Amino acid sequence: MAKLNIVKIGDETLRKVCRPVDAITPRTLTLLDDMLETMRDANGVGLAAPQVGILRRIVVIEVEEGKPIELINPKIIAYAGEQREQEGCLSVPNRWGITVRPKHVTVRALNRHGETFDLTGSDLLARAICHELDHLDGKLFIDNMVEELE
């Protein structure tokens, strides 16, 4: 595995819409592993492929230590409730803000074996899913921020 460079705000890659993954190749699996290592090294809870300069619909999330979640071509299929919480981003260093996100989210994605699965998350996991999937469409948390924190 290798640590990747995290792209920072101002890099045009962060504002582009990512392409779907057509086939899960050894390169895809290496990217998943490298993204997980990069996210952990940066003390993040989520990382999307465009944050490491790759315009593909791939996300890794780990809100519980040792329980990584890999999402390939993820799509939110259901959401409910509302939470108003603090967010930050590895690509937007030293900025924090309050965003309004769904309290519960269900996402459908492929795993590393190409199998479709659904995952439902609440609270921090729901927020992380929404945050990372926004990256896949060229959006940053600051676009959703309702209050900036100092």
pLDDT at 1 over 80: no
For residue 58, the tally of other CB atoms under 10 A from its CB is: 28
Q: Tell me the three state secondary structure of residue 49.
A: helix
- Would you say residue 1 lies in a domain? no
pLDDT at 150 over 90: no
Residue 26, pLDDT score: 97
pLDDT, mean of residues 7-24: 97
- Return phi, psi of residue 10, to 5°: 105, -25
CATH code where residue 144 lies: 3.90.45.10
Tally the domains of the chain: 1
pLDDT digits (tens, 9 = 90+) for 19-58: 999 999 999 999 999 999 999 999 999 999 999 999 999 9
Edge to edge, the sheet with strand 46-48 lists 46-48, 58-61, 69-80, 104-110, 116-122
Reported confidence tier of residue 17, pLDDT bands at 50, 70, 90: very high
- Would you say residue 7 lies in a domain? no
Residue 112: which H helix or E strand, with range? none
For residue 136, which of 84, 86, 72, 88 has the smallest C-alpha distance? 72
pLDDT digits (tens, 9 = 90+) for 92-142: 999 999 999 999 999 999 999 999 999 999 999 999 999 999 999 999 999
**Known catalytic residue: 132?**
yes
Beta-strand runs (E) in the chain:
46-48, 58-61, 69-80, 83-89, 92-101, 104-110, 116-122, 145-149
How far are the Cα atoms of 54, 55, 115 from residue 135, in angstroms, in the given order?
11, 10, 23
- Would you say residue 105 lies in a domain? yes
CA–CA dist 142, 146 (Å, integer): 8
Structure letter (DSSP) for residue 22: -
Q: Which of 62, 115, 132, 150 is catalytic?
A: 132
Structural domain range at position 66: 12-149
Residue 49, pLDDT score: 98
Contact 63, 44 (CB under 8 A): no
- Would you say residue 81 lies in a domain? yes
CA–CA dist 101, 126 (Å, integer): 8
- Would you say residue 34 lies in a domain? yes
